[in-house]
Structure 1
Amino acid sequence: MKRSELREHIFKLLFGVEFREDADFTEQTGTYVREIEGADEKEQEYIQTKVQRIADRIQEIDELINTHTKGWKTSRMNKVDLTILRLAVYEMKWDDSVPVGVAINEAVELAKKYSSDDGPAFVNGVLAKLAD
């Protein structure tokens, strides 16, 4: 499975953070990961581990996002863009295996697929400020 496919599954799982209790989230993450068609054990573990690491840092990630946006605090952002930003910020700041440029590009691609027409430009703009 390609990294972009793994990232898309991580995005889908992270989207649920806003809508589930911690215990439910952990259980549902495990169920979702086990049912990914074509994912081997290593890929399932990668997805689950990365989702948990990002979820553990959401407050810190949101603070970073809030310091680099004007007029668009995380509480006002649409949840798709916020989830994409959280994933990308984690990769940019704490995942040494993902180059910053790749994290930004993959975030923009997710925004093209899942966000509004304005989403890719918004995501790119926020991440560009964070990359400086």
Structure 2
Amino acid sequence: MKATDTGGNPMGRSKIREHIFKLLFMSQFNTEEEMPQQLTIYFNELEELDESDRAYMQEKYEQVISHLKEIDELLNQLSKGWKTSRMARVDLTALRLSVYELKYEEEIPTKVSINEAVELAKRFGGEDSFAFVNGILGRVAKELR
């Protein structure tokens, strides 16, 4: 699964990842039944959205959601002293997206996935979020090798 270059001016991978991050974050505040409508509203607000990028974002969002149980089990196993239920939602969302990529998307280099998650944590999280996310993802990457 990858973003395509079709259409007028597709978004870059970092911007696409940020939108997927936001969709995953939204899912923590809406029920499973509410999310299809929330996705439609979100996508309709994105003026620059190419149809292939929209399809890619929705597909990846759904893939991450479908693997949340395994992702959270791995995070709970490897995050010493922290359980997903206690993590800040921004941190947890960045972790979930990156763990999905590390575990299920071999074409994305480990360093890229971790760096992107750290950048999301810096941008949207608290003061120490990036260090927290980086530390846990380092353990995840070692475990998955």
- Partners of 1:29 and 1:100 lie apart in 2 by 28
SS at match of 1:16: helix
Q: TM-score, normalised by structure 1?
A: 0.96
Q: Is the deviation greater in 93-102 or in 2-11?
A: 93-102
Residue deviations 1:6-63 (CA, integer Å, cap 9, x gap): 0000011100121111121122113212331211100000101100110111111000
Correspondence 1:1-132 to 2 at 5 A: 1-132=11-142
User: How large is the Cα RMSD of the aligned pairs?
Assistant: 0.9
Of Structure 1 and Structure 2, the greater helix share is in 1
Rg larger in structure:
2
Q: TM-score, normalised by structure 2?
A: 0.88
Number of aligned residue pairs: 132
Q: Can you give the 5+ residue segments of structure 1 that lack an aligned partner in the other structure?
A: none
Residue deviations 1:54-88 (CA, integer Å, cap 9, x gap): 01111110001011011110000010000000000
- Partners of 1:21 and 1:52 lie apart in 2 by 14
CA 1:12–1:71: 2 relative to 1, 3 Å: same
Amino acid at match of 1:84: A
- Partners of 2:46 and 2:30 lie apart in 1 by 20
Structure 1 residue runs of 4+, over 6 Å off? none
Identity in percent: 50
- Partners of 1:61 and 1:26 lie apart in 2 by 22
